[in-house]
């Protein structure tokens, strides 16, 4: 096992972008589920006994989808923040290393 931590910044950014695209799809599903109207039309007339339980289940589903959407948004933001933090840290370490090398006369 390696003691080294390596993070490919481009891959991490691509993953964050993919999480963002998944969130966009979940938001679309949330909007579609929120626009569902079971009471009107043929279903509401022929299956009126199913409308109240279906509306209750639909409300729970919309709430769950909304929670997933929020979590995906947070995951995307946190992934981007991790990449930014690692990049900043790496640049800082590289700068300190170059400064130390210069102070030591370029010797390793």
Whole-prediction pTM value?
A: 0.73
Q: Is the pLDDT of residue 1 over 60?
A: no
Confidence class of residue 33 from pLDDT cuts 50, 70 and 90? confident
Q: Is the pLDDT of residue 39 over 60?
A: yes
**How far, in Å, CA of 100 to CA of 94, rounded?**
10
What residue spans define the domains of the chain?
9-83
Tell me the pLDDT tens digit for each residue of 47-64: 788 888 888 888 899 999
Alpha carbon 50 to its chain centroid, in Å, reads 35
**How far, in Å, CA of 81 to CA of 89, rounded?**
12
The whole-chain average pLDDT of the chain stands at: 88
**How far, in Å, CA of 39 to CA of 30, rounded?**
19
């Amino acid at each position: 096992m390696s003691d080294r931590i390596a993070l490919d910044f481009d891959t991490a950014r691509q993953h964050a972008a993919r999480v963002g695209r998944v969130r966009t799809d979940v938001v679309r599903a949330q909007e579609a589920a929120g626009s569902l109207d079971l009471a009107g039309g043929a279903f509401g007339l022929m299956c009126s006994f199913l409308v109240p339980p279906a509306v209750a289940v639909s409300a729970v589903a919309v709430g769950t989808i909304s929670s997933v959407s929020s979590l995906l948004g947070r995951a995307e933001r946190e992934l981007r923040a991790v990449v930014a933090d690692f990049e900043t840290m790496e640049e800082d370490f590289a700068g300190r290393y170059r400064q130390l090398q210069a102070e030591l006369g370029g010797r390793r």
